[in-house]
Amino acid sequence: MPTIELTKDNFNDTLSQNDFVLIDFWASWCGPCRQFAPVYEQASEKHGDLLFAKVDTEDQQELAASFDIQSIPTLMVVRDEIVIYAQPGALPQESLEDLIRQARELDMDEVRKEIAKQQSGAEGPAAE
């Protein structure tokens, strides 16, 4: 599946309609972004069952700001509309493949339980 361009207009629909989305926040003037682009594209060709998307931070400043993107490239992984990874920096191919493998293996039921536990803990005293 080819990489798609995300905008503020299609962002929420894209994430709600896809279980597993990788998002590259980038800009055309950014050297590390240009270095990471072929690695990201190669991964998108290899993992056709996942949605690979890009956000041009120059064109979509509002969207980048809503995720507090301070440094580019920033890679974000979203599963079941939950951000499970968001880190700046261009990854080498091996690291990107390892990240995808780990994200695939993540038990999202456990992630949701942990989020619920953290949210309930923030609202009152810890039960421990």
Cα 57 from Cα 64, distance rounded (Å): 6
Q: Which CATH superfamily is domain 4-123 in?
A: Glutaredoxin (3.40.30.10)
Lowest-confidence region among 26-30, 41-45, 117-121: 117-121
Beta strands in 4-60 (DSSP E): 4-5, 20-26, 51-56
List the catalytic residue out of 33, 39, 63, 78.
33
Confidence band for 121, pLDDT divided at 50, 70 and 90: confident
List the catalytic residue out of 15, 21, 30, 51.
30
Q: Which of 12, 25, 22, 94 is nearest to 57 (CA)?
A: 25
Give me the pLDDT at residue 59, please. 96
Nearest 5°: the CA angle 19, 113, 91 is 50
Question: Quick check: is 58 catalytic?
Answer: no
**pLDDT per position as a tens digit, 50-99:** 999 999 999 999 999 999 999 999 999 999 999 999 999 999 999 999 99
Q: Which two tokens stand for residue 43?
A: 């991964």
Residue spans per domain, the chain: 4-123
Residue 75: count other Cβ atoms within 10 Å of its Cβ. Answer: 22
Output the pTM of the full model.
0.90
Question: Quick check: is 30 catalytic?
Answer: yes
Mean pLDDT, the chain, integer: 93
